[in-house]
Structure 1
Amino acid sequence: MQYLPCRAHHRPLALAALIACGPALHAQTSPATTLQTVEVVGTTPLPGTGVPKDQIPSNVQTADGQRLRQLQSLNLPEFMASQLASVNINETQGNPFQMDVNYRGFTASPLLGTPQGLSVYLDGVRVNEPFGDVVNWDMIPSGALANVALLPGSNPLFGLNTLGGALVLQTKSGDTHPGGELEVRGGSFGRVSTEFSYGKKLGEHGHLFAALGSFDEDGWRAHSPSRVRQLFVKGGEHAPDYSWDLSLLHGQSRLIGNGLLPESMLAQDRAQIYTRPDQTRNRVTMLSLNATRQFGNGFELASTVYARRVRASTVNGDLNDDYDPPDTPESGVENRTRTKERSEGLALQLSKTAGAHRLSVGLSYDRARNDFEQSEAEGVLDATRAVVVTEDAETNALIAGTSRTASVFMSDIVTLAPGLNLTLSGRYNDTRVRTDDLGRSTLGLDTTLDGEGRFKKFNPAAGLTWRLTPALTAFGGFSQGNRAPSPIELGCSDPDNACVLPNALQGDPPLKQVVARTLEAGLRGSIGTDMRWNASVFRTENRDDLLFISNGRSAGYFTNFGRTQRQGVELGVSQHTSAVDWRLSYSHLRATFESSACILAAANSSAGTSTACAGADEIEVRPGNRLPGLPAHSLKLTIDAPLLPDWRVGAQLAAYSSQFVRGNENNAHQPDGVDFFGAGKVGGFALVNLTTSWQFGAGWELFAKVSNVFDRRHSSGGLLAESAFDSRGNLLAPAEWRNEQFSAPGAPRALWIGGRWRFGASE
C-alpha cells in the first residue's frame, strides 16, 4: 500500500478518518499557492502504485500518523473506536491492549475463542497470528505508523480472513518523516508512556527510521499492572525507478486482563476482579523486506518477503468447576499455556498500466508451524481470589500445528469513460491445515488431536465508480472472501469436550471454511471546497460462520453455524476550515443469525424450553436473532479548533445503543431474580473525551487528555454465565452458585498530561 509522502513541512488537509470515503484530496499550502494532490490507497497488500481514493468502489476510511497524535490515542484500537465509522470495541479483557475491535459486525481480537473476520496488514505482511487468526494489538508500534486504511467488504485481494474488511497499515520512513520526536506522558492508573522516533534521509536516495515505545501502568482495576516494549527500525532506498526497505519489528509485553465481572460484584466495586491471575506474555520478532521496480512501458514489479517469530504464554487462575468440599477441596485451578509460532512468506505482484487498464497479477505463499502446550495445576483461592497452587502441574495437551496457503490473484481497473471506472479482481486460495498430537505419541496422554484439512476457494469481486459531477461520485460492488479454520479451531470443535481457551484442546469433528459475500453501494461528494459527505448501504452474508460457543464456565467449542448476516447504513460529513475541523458519522448495523440451531447456553433462562433442542442446557437460535456484542446504532462527533495560533482544543463524542451479551444469542433471556440474574444485554452509553495542546518554543508542545469526562459507568459487552461468588467476592458453596450476567466494565474518568519535543526536521 502506498500513499503520497506526508513530509513534516507540509500542512495537508486532515483526512476524514471519522467518516467513510471522506475527502479524496490532500491540500498542500504555502503563502502564495495552494496545490492539491490526489490521495491514493493501495488496493493490494503489496507496495506499489496506489489507486485514487475516489476510484475505490467502497467506503474506505483513512487516517495518518498526525491524526493519531492529534487525538492522543494510546493505541490503534482506541483511535479506531473514537474516530472510524461502524467501529466499536468490547473490553472483554479489561486491558487497553486486549480489546475486541468490531467493524461492521466483524472482529479482530487478541483472544482465542473470538470469531475473527478482519485481516490486518503491516507493511504488506498479514499479522493475524496463524494459530487462531488473532491480532496482538500490543505488537503494532503506533508511534511508527504513517498511514491507516480500513477497507470494507470481503475483498479477495487481501486473502484469508477478509470477511468483513481489511485494516492496512503503513509505517514511516526516514525520507517521508525526517527529524526526531520525543514524547512522555503520564497520569491516571499509574500510566507512564514514552515514545522516541528519528528519521533521516541518507544520501540521494537512502533513508533510515527508528522508533522506540514503552508503556507501563498499574491499571484501574485491582491487580492489573501491564507493560509493553516496542522497537521498530526501517531502512532502504527510494529511487525514481526502484525502491526497497528492510524493517525489523520487535516487541515484548506482559498484560494483565482480568476480564468480565458478575454484575452483583460490579455494583459493589467496579474495580474488583473475578479470579486471578490472568496474564499474557507476548514476544514477537518480525523481519520484512519490501521492494518495487519499474521496468518501463508501464510495468512494475513488487515483492514482499517476511519471517515472523512469536512466543506467547498465558497464566489463568480460574475457578475449579469440580470444587465440592470436602470431596474436592481444591477451589481453584491454574491453567498455563506456551505457544511458539514460526511463519514465513513471500508475495510477488506484476502490474502494468496500458491504455484504459491498470492490471495486476500476483502470487503468494505463506507457511506457519505452531507448537502448543497446555498444563493445569489445582489449588485453592485465597482472599484476593488468586489461585495458590497445591498440586503439581499436569500437561493435558501438546500439539504441533502447521498451515500452508498458496494463492494466485489478479486485479484490473478499467477506465470505461472519463469518470467511469470498473474494478474486476479475484483470488484463488489453497490452504492446508494439520495438527499432530504429540501429547499422545510422546507423553501417553489420552487425547485424539490429530487432524488434517484442505480448503480451496476462488473468490471474485467487481465494483464500479462513476463520477457524476466534479462534486458527486456513485459507487457499488460485490466481493467474496473466505477463511479456513485455524489449528486451534480444528482442535476445539467437539461440543462434548469443551476447551478452556486458550488453554485446552480436545478431539474434533471436521469444520468447514467460512465464505462471506458482500454487496455495497453509495454516494460521496463535496459541498464547496472544504466539506465532504458520504452515504452508503452494505450487506454481508456469511455461510458456515465459525462461532465459539461458551458453556458458561470459561470453556466452550468451535462450530460452524449455517448463515449469519450483517447489513447496515453509514452516513458521514466533515468540514475543515482555518477556524474549525469537525467530523460527524452515524452507523446503523443489523447483525443477525439467519439459520436455526441449538447451542449451549446453560445460564440463559430459556435453556431447555425449546422442543427443537434436546439438551437441557441448550437454547434455540432462530433467523432474525441479533448477534451479541454489536450495538445497532453508533454516533461519533469530533471537533477540533484553534483558540489561539498555538493553542488547540478538541472534543470527541462516541455514543452506542444497547447490545445483547454472549449466551443470549436467542435474545430470549428473562431474569427472574431467583434462578437467573441480569437483563441479557448491556445498556447504551455515550462517552466524551477532551483534548488540548499548546505549542511553544522551537518544536516544544504540551498536551493533555481527559477521557470519559462525565465519568459514565458503562459496559462494552458481557456474557451469561454461572457465578460462584457473592457481591463482595466471597466464595459460595457450590449449591449457592447462580446464573448471572457478567459485564465488561469500562474505565472511569482519567487524565493524562504529556510533553513532546520535535527536532532535526530540517536536516
Structure 2
Amino acid sequence: MSRRLTLSPLALALAAAFAPAAAAESVVELPAVEVVGNSPLAGIGIPRLQVPANVQVVGERDLAQSAALNLPGLMGRQLAGVTINEVQGNPFQQDVNYRGFTASPLLGTAQGLSVYLDGVRVNEPFGDTVNWDLLPQAALAGMEVAPGSNPLFGLNTLGGALALRTRNGFDHPGTTLEAMAGSFGRRTLAFASGGQRDSLGWYVAGDGFAEDGWRDFSKSDAGRFFAKLSRRSAAGELDFSLLRARTKMTGNGLLPLSMYEADRAQVFTHPDETRNDLLHLALAGRLWLNGEQSLSGNVYHRRNTTRTLNGDANDEFEDSPFDGVSDEESGANNRTRTRQRGEGLALQWNLNGERHQMTVGTSWDRARIRFRQTQQLGVIDPTRGVGDLEDEEVENAIRGTTETVSLFVTDTVALSPVLHLTASARYNASHVTTFDQLNRVAPNLDGDHRYRKLNPALGLTWQVAPALNAYAGFSQGNRVPTPIELGCADPANPCTLPNAMAADPYLKQVVARTLEAGLRGKLAGGIGWNAGVFRTVADDDILFVGTSTSAGYFTNFGRTRRQGVELGIDGRHGKLDWFASYSWLHATFGSAACLLAENNSSRGTAAACTANGQDDEILVQKGDRLPGLPAHSLKLGLSWQAADWLRLGGDLQAFSGQYARGNENNAHRAGSATDVFGNTRVFSGSGRLPGYAILNLNAEARLGGGWEVFARVDNVFDKRYATAAALAENPFAANGAFQVDSADWRRETFVAPGAPRAGWLGVRYRFAGV
C-alpha cells in the first residue's frame, strides 16, 4: 500500500540540508521528497523513490487516528501484505505475518522478521521472538516496514524488517494525559511530556494497561515507562533513552472446534501466563564531519526476565499406567524462567554526495541466556486447571550465549538524474553456544555452533516520468538457529514449549533470497498508487512441527517459497482521506519431506514415510501450501473530517481461508481414515479455516480547552471468526470433563477464536500551549 508519508524530524532536516544537491541531480520536479532510512541506525535519508522496494511508512497521524491498542493491531489494519494470527487470544501476543514471514512472541513460531527500536534489534536472543507488550506504544513517533531480505537489517530479515522510531523533546513539546475504558474490562492510562531548553531536550512517556479479557481466565496487565534525554548542536546530536516495562500476559491459546461451537469464550486448559520484566538502555548519536559526511552509532544494554506458567494436559498420560484407570497425573504445570542479557554496539560512516549516498558500518551483538524449566504433575480439575500437584521437578537448566559480528556497506549511485543503482552487502559471523547445567553426561544440551554468511543486494530505480517510478531488486538475508531451536530438534523427543529440551540434531542456518519489482506513481488529484510483485525462496527454513497442542520439534525444511502481488492506492479529497490495498500470497513448500503429524487423517498412508514402520508421518510435497497464511487479503480505510472539531473513520479487513498447522500436506479430511498398517481412526474438522471480514469504526472530537474524546468499535457486526488453527487431540468430553481412557480422545481441528464486538471510549487532555 502506498501511503502518504509522515517524515521524521531527522528526515526533514536531511532533506533540507541536501536539497541543493538533489535539485542539481534531478530533472523531475516532485511535490515533496519522501525520505526513508537505509539502515536501522540514523544515517542517510534516502528518497523513497530511489529505494528499489515498496517501503511502507506509518507516521504519527496514522498512529493517532487508528486508536489501535498495539502495533500488531495497527499493522493488521493498515499495512499491505500483513496478516495477524491471534494464536494466544491476547492483544499483545499476536503473530504478525508479512509476506508469509512471521514476528511472534511465541516460541515454536518460525521467525522471519527483524524488529528495531531506534536502531536496536529487539528480537529476543533465545528464540528470535518479539514481545509486542514491551514496546513503548505511548512514545512511538512512527515506523517503517522494509520488505524483502534486506541484508542491511541483519539477522532474521528473511521477509522484511520493522524499524520503530521514538519521540524526542525537540519535536514533541508539551504534556498530554489520556485514559480509555470499555469492553472486556479493558482500561488504559497514558501520559507524555516533552520539552527543550537551548541544546537540551527531554521526553518522558508511560502507559498502563489492564483487562479481564473476553475469554475465561484471561486477565492481563502491563506497565511501561520511556524516557529520552537529547542534545542537539550544529556538530551533531546525542540521545540517551531508557525503557522499563513489566507485564503479565494471559494467552489461553487454541480451542477445539467442538468447544468453540458451544462457547467461544471458554479455554482449553489454564493457566497460561507470561511475565516479562525488561530494562532497555540505549545511547545513540551522530557527528557531522562536514556537509556531506557524518558518523552515527549506538550502544545498548537489554535485560529481560521472562517467567511462564502453563497448565497443560500431560502429554505423557497416554499409554501411562493411569491411562483408562484414573485421572492421576492427567495434567502438568510447566514453569520456565528465562534470563536474557544483551549488549551491543554499531558504528557507521555516512556519505551524501552528488552522485553517491553511501554507508559503511560494523556491529557487534552478544547475549547471555539462562534458562530453567520445571514440571509439576497433577490432576485436571473441573475448570480444566491443574490441581493436586506433586513435587516440582527440574526438567532442564542451561545457559548459553549468542554473539554476532557484522560488516556492511551500501551505496546508492546516481547513474543519471532519473536512474539510481543501489548495491549492498553484509557479512555476518555468529557463534551460538549452550551449556547443560543439569546433565553433564553426553549426549546432553552442550553445543558450540558457528555460522557465517555474506549477503548481497542489488536494485535499480527509474523515474520513467514525473508521475511514474519503476523499481526492481534482489536481496539475500540469513537467520541462524537460536538456542531453543538447537535444543528442540529431535522428532523422537518433542518439546513442551517453551520448555523441555533434549540433545538434538544440528540445524542449518536459513538463507532467504528475494526478487521484487514494481511501479508506483501519482494520478490526478494527488492520488498515490503502487503495484508490485515479489518472490522469496528460503533454503533450510526452520519450521516447528507440532505433535500436540503444546509439544513439537524444530526442523530444517529443504526449501520454501513465498511469492505474491501487492496493490495499493490512497488519496485525499476535500475532507476525506482514504486508502485501499490488496495482497495475494502464494506460500508453498518447495521440496518434499516426511513430517510428524499424528492428528492428520493422511498419516501413515504415504509409502515414502511408512517404509521405516512409521504410522504417524505425512508426506509434504512441493507445491503444498504453508499453514496459517491466507492467500488473499483486502484492506479499506476511510477518514472523514465531518467538522473542524469532529473526525469519523472506519476500516475493513477481509481475508481468505487458511490451512491449519498439522495439515502441511493440505490432505487432511474429516471422517474415518485407515493407514497402510490397517489402523482406522476418526478425525473431526476439515483442517482448514474459512475466510472472514471485519469492520471497525473510530472517531475523535475536540471539545475545546485542551479536551478531546475518542472512541472505537471493533468487529461492528459481531462476526464469529478464527485467525489460526492446528490439528491436535482433545482429551475432554463434551461437558469439559477429562476422559481417563485415551481411546475416547478426539482428534480435532483447534482454532484461535477472534474477539467479539467490543467498544471503548477515551478522553485526552492537552495542557495549555500544546
Q: So what's the TM-score if we normalise by structure 2?
A: 0.93
Counterpart check, 1:334 vs 2:333:
yes
Opposite residue 43 of structure 2, the aligned amino acid is G
Of residues 492, 512, 516, the one that matches 1:516 is 512
Q: Which residue, 718, 723, 733 being the options, matches 1:716? A: 723
Q: 1:234 aligns with which of 228, 236, 246?
A: 228
Which piece of structure 1 moves more, 259-268 or 719-728? 719-728
Could you tell me how far apart the structure 1 residues matched to 2:371 and 2:150 are?
Answer: 31
2:62 maps to a residue whose letter is: R
Q: Distance in 2 between matches of 1:563 and 1:519?
A: 16
1:75-99 per-residue CA deviation (whole Å, 9 max, x = no partner) reads: 0000000110010010001100000
C-alpha separation in 1, matches of 2:714 and 2:281: 36
Q: For 1:463-499, what per-residue CA distance to the aligned partner results, in whole angstroms no more than 9, with x for missing partners?
A: 1111111100000100000000011111111111111
User: Relative to 1, partners in 2 of residues 1:244 and 1:389: Cα closer, same or farther, differing over 3 Å?
Assistant: farther
> How far, CA to CA, are the matches of 1:406 and 1:487 in structure 2?
18
Amino acid at match of 2:208: S
Query: C-alpha displacement at 1:696, in angstroms?
Result: 1.2
Q: Deviations over 1:171-227 (max 9, x none)?
A: 000111111111100000000001100110122x22100001100000000010000
Q: Are 1:612 and 2:608 an aligned pair? A: yes
Asked if the contact 1:459/1:480 (under 8 Å) is kept, the reply is: yes
Which position in structure 2 is the counterpart of 1:380? Answer: 379
Alpha-carbon contact 1:231-1:251 (below 8 Å) kept: yes
- Are residues 1:201 and 2:167 paired? no
> In structure 1, what is the Cα distance between the partners aligned to 2:392 and 2:728?
27
Partner of 1:298: 292
The code of the aligned residue for 1:299 comes to Q
- Equivalent residues in 2 for 1:428-439 (5 A)? 428-439=427-438
CA pair 115-523 structure 1, distance change in 2 beyond 3 A: same
List aligned pairs for 1:212-251, cutoff 5 A.
212-251=206-245
Give identity over the alignment, percent: 53
Is 571-580 or 132-141 further displaced after alignment?
A: 571-580
Alpha-carbon separation, structure 1, partners of 2:388 and 2:43: 55
Alignment of 1:42-81 (within 5 A): 42-81=37-76
Residue in structure 1 matched with residue 108 of structure 2 by the alignment? 113
Q: Distance in 2 between matches of 1:390 and 1:84?
A: 46
SS in 2 for 1:488: helix
Within the alignment, does 1:707 sit opposite 2:718 as a pair?
Answer: no
Match of 1:747 among 744, 755, 767: 755
State how far apart, in whole Å, the 2-side matches of 1:321 and 1:545 are. Answer: 27
Q: Distance in 2 between matches of 1:99 and 1:409?
A: 32
Cα pair 2:278 2:304 within 8 Å, conserved: yes
Deviations 1:646-680 (A, max 9, x none): 11111100000000010000000010167100111
Deviation, 1:262, is 0.2
In the alignment, the residues of structure 2 paired with residue 373 and residue 224 of structure 1 have an alpha-carbon distance, to the nearest angstrom, of: 25
SS in 1 for 2:622: coil
Q: Give the corresponding residue for 1:569.
A: 565
Alignment match, 1:693: 700
Q: What pairs with 1:319-398 in structure 2 (closer than 5 Å)? A: 319-323=313-317, 324-326=323-325, 329-398=328-397
The alpha-carbon deviation at position 693 of structure 1 amounts to 1.1
Deviations 1:34-68 (A, max 9, x none): x9642311110111231111111101100112211
Hey, what does 2:676 align to over in structure 1?
none
User: Could you tell me how far apart the structure 2 residues matched to 1:699 and 1:470 are?
Assistant: 42
User: CA offsets, 1:603-642, max 9 Å, x none?
Assistant: 0000000001032010000000000000000000001101
Structure 2 SS opposite 1:612: helix
Q: Which amino acid aligns with 1:699?
A: G
Which residue number corresponds to residue 409 of structure 1?
408
Q: d(CA) in 1 for partners of 2:700 and 2:327? A: 59
In 1: Cα distance, 2:656 partner to 2:431 partner = 41
- In the alignment, which residue of structure 1 is the partner of 2:22? none
Query: Does structure 1 conserve the Cα–Cα contact (< 8 Å) formed by 2:543 and 2:557?
Result: yes
* Aligned-pair CA distance for 1:447: 6.5
Secondary structure, counterpart of 1:54 in structure 2: helix
Per-residue displacement from partner, 1:354-399 (whole Å, max 9, x unpaired)?
Answer: 3311111100000001000000010111111111142110001000
| Contact persistence 1:322–1:328 (CA under 8 A) | no
Q: After the TM superposition, which of the residue ranges 288-297 and 711-720 deviates more from structure 2?
A: 288-297
> Which 10-residue stretch deviates more, 536-545 or 354-363?
354-363
User: What CA distance in whole angstroms lies between the structure 1 residues aligned with 2:443 and 2:168?
Assistant: 49
Q: Where does residue 640 of structure 1 map in the other structure?
A: 639
* C-alpha distance in structure 2 between counterparts of 1:463 and 1:351, whole Å: 19
Partner of residue 163, structure 1: 158
Alignment of structure 1 residues 131-142 onto 2, 5 Å: 131-142=126-137
Give the partner amino acid of 1:505: M
The CA deviation at 1:406 is 0.3
**Structure 2: tracts of 5 or more residues without a match:** 11-29, 318-322, 673-680
Report if the CA contact (8 A) 2:44-2:352 is conserved.
no
Partner of 2:623: 624
Change (3 A) 1:459 1:473: same
Amino acid at match of 2:558: G
TM-aligned CA deviation for residue 241 of structure 1 = 2.6
2:464 counterpart (468, 472, 480): 468
The residue that corresponds to 2:27 in the other structure is none
1:722-761 pair list within 5 angstroms = 722-732=729-739, 733-761=741-769
Q: Secondary structure at the match of 1:134?
A: coil
What SS is found at the alignment partner of 1:38? Answer: coil
> What displacement does 1:326 show?
3.2
TM-fit CA distance, 1:5: 4.1
Please give the alpha-carbon distance, in whole angstroms, between the structure 1 residues aligned to 2:768 and 2:553.
Answer: 54
Unpaired segments ≥5 residues, structure 1: 8-34
Q: Alpha-carbon deviations, 1:541-566, whole Å to 9, x = none?
A: 00000001111252111110000000
For the residue of structure 1 that corresponds to 2:261, the secondary structure is helix
Following the alignment from structure 1 to structure 2, what is the Cα–Cα distance between the partners of residues 459 and 517? Answer: 9
Stretch of structure 1 that moved more, 65-74 or 726-735: 726-735
| Structure-2 separation of matches of 1:528 and 1:433 | 54
Letter in 2 for 1:508: D
Distance 1:177 1:578, change over 3 A: farther
Answer whether contact 2:7 2:59 (CA < 8 A) is retained. no
Q: Report the residue type matching 2:50 in the other structure.
A: Q
2:278 pairs, out of 272, 276, 284, with: 284
Count of paired positions: 733
Contact 2:337 2:371 in 1 (8 A): yes
Which of the numbers 185, 188, 192 marks the counterpart of 1:190?
185
Match of 2:540 in 1: 544
Q: Could you give the per-residue CA deviations for residues 431-458 of structure 1, whole angstroms, max 9, x where no partner exists?
A: 00010001114xx8x9710111100000
Shift of residue 528, structure 1, vs aligned partner: 2.4
Given that 2:536 and 2:562 are in contact with CA atoms closer than 8 Å, whether structure 1 keeps it comes out as: yes
Take 1:596 and 1:202, find their aligned partners in 2: how far apart are those partners? 64
Tell me which residue corresponds to 1:423.
422
Q: Distance in 2 between matches of 1:710 and 1:742?
A: 24
| CA–CA distance in structure 2, aligned partners of residues 135 and 414 of structure 1 | 35
2:140 is equivalent to residue 148 of structure 1: no
- Per the alignment, in what secondary structure is the counterpart of residue 239 of structure 2? strand
User: Greater shift after overlay, 634-643 or 721-730?
Assistant: 721-730
Q: Secondary structure at the match of 2:130?
A: coil
